[in-house]
């Protein structure tokens, strides 16, 4: 009798019909987008704020560098105004602040004589921009005083981009590496999140069956391993459903939000767009961009997708069977801590190895070894694959993963079978070992 489809159906439907699951599914993207919109709106609000800064320049040479911008207006006070008067004037006009440059004979001593007065403490950004302006002017003045032609300096500035090419003649670029990193990182991280969220969900549902005491009723109809596999598969399907809804809903909401806030959002992006435009005009960078696009298409996309499916499913099943075993071993969620550590450790290790060593050297010893070790291989291998991993390595790693998966399911099923009928005490590792031998 194969009850697996029936169990999967029930597990899936109960998860999907669960109120908090529905709320999480539909509210999370809303919250994310709302958060994004609020942050965007607020930062824009901040930028929009117009301020007037009064400048009292006793030297008289720096005045020409304070040019009004969109949000900042500079009021130049005549150099014979006294500091006290200037302060009062600024306060009376409710200006943002007063920049005071003390009179001095030579340019170097100006450095120690610049002060800024204001009620609100100014942001680092404002201060930086003021300091930069003055520094630039003083540097230029010094250069001129020393008889250096500034135009010559400007003309001698160089910017080099090393063109990269493989021995087979494919053109690559730095963007290529970033792109690979982004793909690998996203895949590995997605798996990590998926395991933690839905592994926990499986564990909770096992515990629920224990605490509601239905387990013995079910177990008298189906084999424990069927129930366990049904749970894992049903919950995963619910998870995939949730993820899919998140992606679709998230992108739709993003579009809607940017349509509503449309104008402001494009305004927000305008500096970057300017840069892009400039970049496009610059032949080197345009070339780089093209190469990036090209390297996206050069990614082993088919390999990436297939490997993603295999390693994602393999890794997820491996861990979720362990989660199910932990759920079976304990009576309530608070008792799970002790058993969670050994599950989370390799997972976290995998992510760290992925982030630190794969970036440094995707084919180095450490990354290669960890992409074979079964508990870290799904995450690390997914991160490595965009950089091009020989097929034999992928197949071998997956084979090891499958063998380990079969072993962990067997192991988890043993614990599950005994654990689901054990009530009352929290088992020790020694007892778990005994259960396996029953």
Examine residue 204 and tell whether it contacts another protein (CB under 8 A).
no
Nearest approach, Cβ of 212 to another protein (angstroms)?
4
Say how far residue 388 (Cα) sits from the centre of its chain: 23
What are the angstrom distances between the C-alpha of 430 and each of 344, 363, 426?
20, 40, 11
Q: How many residues does the chain have?
A: 438
Closest to another protein by CB, 133 vs 426, is: 426
User: Within 13 Å of residue 190, how many CA atoms lie on the same side as its CB?
Assistant: 18
Contact region with another protein (CB under 8 A), list: 1-9, 51-59, 237-245, 306-314? 1-9
- Closest contact distance (angstroms) between CB of 128 and another protein is 57
Looking at beta carbons only, is 222 or 268 nearer to another protein?
Answer: 222
Starting at the edge strand found earlier in the chain, the sheet holding 72-77 runs: 72-77, 51-57, 97-101, 114-118
Do 297 and 173 meet the contact criterion of CB atoms below 8 Å apart?
no
Report d(CA 111, CA 115) in Å as an integer.
Answer: 10
| Binding segment toward another protein, per CB under 8 A, in 168-176, 220-228, 261-269, 387-395 | 220-228
Contact 302, 182 (CB under 8 A): no
Q: Does 218 bind another protein (CB under 8 A)?
A: yes
Closest separation in Å from C-beta 215 to another protein: 8
Q: Is 14 in the site for another protein (CB under 8 A)?
A: yes
**Site for another protein (CB under 8 A): which residue of 152, 220, 272, 365?**
220
- Residue indicated by tokens 């500091």: 83
**Could you say whether residue 219 binds another protein (CB under 8 A)?**
yes
* Binding of another protein by 22 (CB under 8 A): no
Q: How far apart are CA 422 and CA 438, in angstroms?
A: 13
Binds another protein by CB under 8 A, chosen from 112, 166, 168, 212: 212
Please give the structure tokens belonging to residue 233. 């598969």
3-class secondary structure, 124: helix
Select from 106, 146, 213, 281 the one that contacts another protein (CB under 8 A): 213
Using CB under 8 A as the criterion, what x/- string covers residues 398-437 for binding another protein?
A: -----------------------x-x----------x---
**DSSP string for residues in 277-316:** HHHHHSHHHHHHHHHHHHHHHHS-HHHHHHHHHHHHHHHH
Which residue lies nearer to another protein by CB, 227 or 322?
A: 227
Site map (CB under 8 A) of another protein, residues 250-269, x = contact: --------------------
Closest-CA residue to 49 (of 72, 69, 67, 76): 72
Site residues for another protein per CB under 8 A: 1, 3, 6-7, 10, 14, 18, 208-209, 212-214, 216-223, 421, 423, 434, 438
């Amino acid at each position: 009798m194969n009850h697996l489809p029936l169990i999967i159906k029930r597990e899936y439907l109960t998860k999907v019909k669960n109120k908090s699951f529905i709320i999480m599914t539909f509210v999370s993207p809303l919250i994310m987008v709302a958060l994004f919109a609020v942050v965007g709106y607020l930062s824009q609000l901040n930028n929009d704020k117009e301020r007037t800064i009064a400048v009292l320049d006793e030297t008289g040479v720096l005045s020409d560098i304070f040019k009004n911008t969109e949000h900042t207006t500079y009021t130049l006070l005549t150099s014979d105004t006294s500091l006290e008067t200037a302060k009062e004037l600024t306060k009376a006009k409710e200006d943002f602040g007063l920049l005071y440059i003390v009179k001095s004979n030579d340019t170097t001593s100006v450095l120690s004589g610049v002060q800024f007065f204001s009620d609100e403490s100014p942001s680092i950004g404002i201060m930086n921009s003021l300091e930069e302006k003055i520094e630039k002017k003083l540097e230029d003045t010094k250069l001129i005083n020393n008889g250096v032609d500034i135009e010559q300096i400007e003309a001698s500035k160089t910017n080099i981009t090393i063109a990269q090419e493989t021995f087979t003649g494919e053109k690559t670029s730095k963007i290529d590496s970033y792109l690979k990193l982004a793909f690998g990182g996203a895949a590995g991280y997605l798996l990590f999140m998926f395991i933690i969220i839905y592994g926990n969900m499986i564990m909770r549902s096992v515990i629920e069956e224990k605490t509601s005491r239905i387990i013995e009723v079910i177990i008298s109809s189906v084999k424990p391993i069927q129930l366990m596999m049904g749970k894992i598969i049903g919950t995963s399907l619910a998870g995939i459903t949730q993820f899919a809804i998140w992606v679709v809903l998230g992108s739709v909401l993003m579009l809607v939000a940017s349509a509503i806030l449309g104008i402001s959002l494009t305004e927000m992006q305008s500096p970057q767009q300017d840069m892009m435009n400039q970049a496009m005009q610059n032949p080197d960078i345009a070339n780089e961009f093209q190469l990036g696009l090209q390297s996206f298409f050069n990614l082993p996309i088919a390999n990436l997708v297939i490997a993603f499916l295999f390693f994602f499913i393999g890794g997820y099943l491996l861990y979720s069977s362990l989660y199910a075993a932990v759920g079976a071993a304990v009576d309530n969620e608070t008792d799970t801590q002790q058993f969670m550590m050994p599950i989370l450790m390799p997972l976290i290790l995998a992510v760290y190895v992925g982030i630190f060593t794969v970036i440094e050297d995707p084919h180095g010893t450490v990354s290669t070894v960890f992409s074979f070790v079964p508990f870290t291989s799904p995450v690390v291998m997914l991160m490595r694959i965009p950089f091009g991993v020989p097929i034999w390595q992928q197949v071998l790693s997956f084979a090891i993963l499958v063998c380990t998966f079969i072993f962990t399911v067997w192991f988890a099923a043993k614990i599950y079978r005994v654990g689901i009928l054990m009530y009352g005490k929290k088992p020790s590792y020694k007892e778990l070992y005994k259960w396996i031998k029953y």
